[in-house]
């Protein structure tokens, strides 16, 4: 996908949202933020996604992570749409801001445009893009889904937990990892260093190659 991606700094754009106007860095406030776009207001899959994000908000907040939605309609439309979202997912409250971007200028700069989706007037629409932005305002992870595939918020939370783990320890998380499972020690860490930094110990898997690169620990 052309445009900003993993490792790039998010530009400090001024955005108009359901919570008023602000600059992105003021909202990020040197913390982790999940920014996620939706093709349009009052569309079925997006309505389910916004509600699920609201339902998961307490989990993100526990981890010190903020949410910021994007859709290309205006603020008034977003406010009307939120009523539908909250009715569809009972108990959820959309307390996170949603950016309005009728001109598509912001979604283009954030690389959230779907090359294939257009509205009835031929205007480009956002894809289901999601960037996890770190406390240094850089993108740490990006998902890009087409309009036809709603996102799995369990996976968003799982990926967030993996990023937080890897930001704290010199580890990576293996396939299908979930919170509480063993993690792998980064290949850059020697066994000597691993003994120091993981005093709880680690297990080196015995593999046919004889290479001792798959080392598991619990953090
Ligand atoms: C939806 O959110 O349901 C949707 C939006 C754009 C195209 C297709 C589906």
Taking a C-beta distance cutoff of 8 angstroms, is the pair 189, 197 a contact? yes
For tokens 């998010």, what's the residue? 10
Q: How far is CA 154 from the centre of its chain?
A: 11
**pLDDT attached to residue 2:** 66
- Give residue-wise pLDDT tens across range 181-215: 999 999 999 999 999 999 999 999 999 999 999 99
What is the model's pLDDT at position 126?
A: 85
155 Cα to the center of ligand 1, angstroms: 20
Q: Is the pLDDT of residue 127 over 70?
A: yes
Contacts for 11-17: CB closer than 8 Å, 24+ residues apart: 11/109, 11/110, 12/137, 13/106, 13/109, 13/110, 15/99, 15/100, 15/101, 15/106, 16/75, 16/99, 16/100, 17/68, 17/75, 17/97, 17/98, 17/99, 17/100
Atom of ligand 1 nearest to the CA of 47: 2
Q: What is the pLDDT of residues 132-158, one digit of tens each?
A: 999 999 999 999 999 999 999 999 999
Does the structure show a pLDDT above 60 at 1?
no
Taking residues 39-66, what's their average pLDDT? Answer: 97
Per-residue pLDDT of 79-105, as tens digits, reads 999 999 999 999 999 999 999 999 999
> Quick one: pLDDT at residue 114?
85
Nearest atom in ligand 1 to 44's CA:
3
Q: What are phi and psi of 118, to 5 degrees?
A: -135, 150
Residue 69 has pLDDT above 50, yes or no: yes
The two three-digit tokens of residue 96, written as one number: 């996170």
Q: Separation of 152 CA from ligand 1 center, angstroms?
A: 15
> From ligand 1's centre to the CA of 40, what distance in Å?
7
Indicate which residues carry an active-site annotation: 46
Spell out which residues line ligand 1, taking CB within 6 angstroms.
Answer: 39-40, 43-46, 117, 147-148
pLDDT at 56 exceeding the cut of 50: yes
127, 143 Cβ separation under 8 angstroms: no
């Amino acid at each position: 996908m052309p445009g900003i991606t993993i490792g790039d700094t998010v530009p400090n754009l001024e955005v108009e949202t359901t919570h008023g106007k602000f600059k992105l860095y003021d909202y990020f406030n040197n913390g982790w933020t999940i920014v996620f776009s939706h093709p349009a207001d009052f569309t079925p899959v997006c309505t389910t996604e916004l509600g699920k994000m609201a339902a998961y908000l307490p989990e993100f907040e526990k981890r010190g992570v903020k949410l910021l939605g994007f859709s290309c309609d205006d603020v008034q439309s977003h406010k009307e749409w939120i009523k539908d979202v909250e009715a569809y997912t009972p108990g959820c409250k959309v307390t996170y801001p949603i950016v309005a971007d009728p001109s598509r200028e912001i979604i283009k700069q954030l690389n959230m445009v779907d090359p294939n989706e257009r509205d009835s007037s031929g205007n480009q629409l956002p894809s289901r893009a999601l960037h996890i932005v770190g406390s240094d305002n850089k993108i740490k992870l990006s998902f890009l889904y087409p309009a036809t595939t709603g996102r799995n918020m369990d996976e968003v939370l799982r990926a967030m937990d993996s990023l937080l783990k890897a930001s704290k320890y010199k580890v990576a998380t293996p396939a299908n990892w979930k919170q509480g499972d063993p993690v792998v020690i980064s290949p850059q860490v020697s066994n000597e260093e691993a003994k120091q930094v993981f005093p709880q110990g680690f297990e080196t898997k015995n593999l046919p190659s004889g290479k001792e690169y798959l080392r598991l620990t619990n953090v």
